[in-house]
Amino acid sequence: MIQKLFPLDKNYILRQAQSVLEEELLDQMVAELKASYTQLYNPLQLMDQTYRSIMERNEFPRERVRLIYRQLCGVYRYRHGDNQLELLFDGRTHFEKFQEDWTAALVSYVRQLGQHEPYVKTLLRMTLLHDTESRAEWAENHCKGFVNQFFDLKVIKRQGELRLKVS
């Protein structure tokens, strides 16, 4: 366990809020994916075999979605990287505020991404239309790349250090 020098640092509280919400928001991401698929590919909601399998499927490889969720967590922390806690006057804790802010931001991110076919297709291949590990891994790499491109971020890995930077 890493010893925290400043346990009330905004980033620690934000990470904790994102972690607590992870399972719930993974389901939300998949629900938004189904809505995006319907909007892009089947706005009339005609019940063909593919559409039925996507809409009825509730089991999926959660680890695949978890990777994209954590990537979006990192994007959010990078974009909201100031470490100053604001004064709250509404009785909520910072943890509760960060949970609300993060949930709203994630839904917004996923809806924005859901307007783009490459994101929808690759996330479907990773989750609801998962058939083989090799295809899922390929789709995962493309999805991560698309997310980075969408948010205009570049991931730099050097000597065990991971940094995001605006391209």
Is residue 17 scored above 90 in pLDDT?
yes
Which residues are CB-neighbours of 115 under 8 A, at least 6 positions away?
A: 36, 39, 40
pLDDT for 6 equals 56
Strands in the chain per DSSP E = 153-158, 161-166
What is the rounded (10 degree) CA torsion for 115, 120, 123, 126? Answer: 180
Domain annotation covers residue 85: no
158 backbone dihedrals φ, ψ, rounded to 5°: -140, 125
Which single residue is written with the structure tokens 């590919």?
Answer: 41
Instruction: Name the band, by pLDDT with cuts 50, 70 and 90, for residue 154.
Output: confident
pLDDT for 89 equals 86
Domain annotation covers residue 23: yes
Domain annotation covers residue 125: yes
In order, the DSSP letters of 47-69 are --HHHHHHHH-----HHHHHHHH
Q: How far is it, in rounded angstroms, from Cα 141 to Cα 135?
A: 10
Is residue 153 scored above 90 in pLDDT?
no
Q: How far is it, in rounded angstroms, from Cα 140 to Cα 127?
A: 10
Domain annotation covers residue 20: yes
Instruction: Name the band, by pLDDT with cuts 50, 70 and 90, for residue 166.
Output: low
Which single residue is written with the structure tokens 């972690």?
Answer: 19
The range of the structural domain enclosing residue 22 comes to: 10-79+90-166
Instruction: List pLDDT tens digits, range 106-138.
Output: 999 999 999 999 999 999 999 999 888 899 999
pLDDT for 88 equals 80
**What are the CA-CA distances from residue 130 to residues 75, 140, 144, 163 (Å)?**
26, 11, 17, 30
Instruction: Name the band, by pLDDT with cuts 50, 70 and 90, for residue 157.
Output: low
Is residue 160 scored above 90 in pLDDT?
no
Total domain count for the chain? 1
Domain annotation covers residue 84: no
Quick check: helix, strand or coil at residue 80?
A: coil
